[in-house]
Structure 1
Amino acid sequence: MERTGLVPVMAIAIVNGIFSPWVLVLFVLYPVWYPSWAPPTSQFVYMASALILSTLTLMVAGVPAALYERLSARPQSVVVASIWLGCAALLTLPAVPNIMRALAG
């Protein structure tokens, strides 16, 4: 896949990591996954939670695209990028109300 197809997928994953309601779950569970040597300030914990959720969005959205690429006789990079982008957008749907609230002011 070309870089031009990866940039929108990464942008959607970042937006999902910042605005998803699942960030609160990761934030609350920080004693389970947050390293003891890192400073436990709320800013660092939130940033790490958003990063984990963004990475998880990228990985989960890439599974259907990888399956298509593996099972197709002639996979096309445009189709792979479209599948990955569509799955990332679907995973971002729970974050839409938070995005709208942030844009409203």
Structure 2
Amino acid sequence: MTDETAFTLTVATCLLHGLVSPALMIVAFFHPVWLPEMLPPTAEIVFYGASLIVSTGTLLLSAVPAAVAERMGATPGGALRVWLGGAALLTALGILARMG
């Protein structure tokens, strides 16, 4: 797997987590805080914005173990695989929480 493929899969996994995460409803609840006033607070806009916020948070949170692994001597490709694994773990937990 190339580094570009690993990064693309990581971003896609984070986007999937943004759709299934239990945190999605919490972020959507606080839409008056983060939603600009020029946008109407329709259900579609709130869901899309909350999904992007959760996806970005997942991307950042799953990068922490990758940064630690790289700091401990992993190659950049190895760190990308750790990043993908962290994102996949968070997504799997979100899917399990949605099913249960």
- RMSD of the TM alignment (CA)? 1.9
- Residue of structure 2 equivalent to 1:88: 87
- Residue of structure 1 equivalent to 2:71: 70
CA distance in 1, matches of 2:81, 2:54: 21
- Residue of structure 1 equivalent to 2:34: 33
Contact 1:21 1:94 in 2 (8 A): no
CA distance in 2, matches of 1:78, 1:11: 18
Task: Kindly tell me the number of residue pairs found equivalent between the two proteins.
Answer: 98
Normalised by the length of structure 2, the TM-score is: 0.86
CA-CA distance at 1:77 after TM superposition: 2.8
- Residue of structure 2 equivalent to 1:43: 44
Could you list the runs of 4 or more consecutive aligned residues of structure 1 that deviate by over 3 angstroms after TM superposition?
Answer: none
Q: Percent identity?
A: 35
* 3-state secondary structure, aligned to 2:41: coil
Give unmatched runs, 5+ long, in structure 1: none
Contact 1:65 1:81 in 2 (8 A): yes
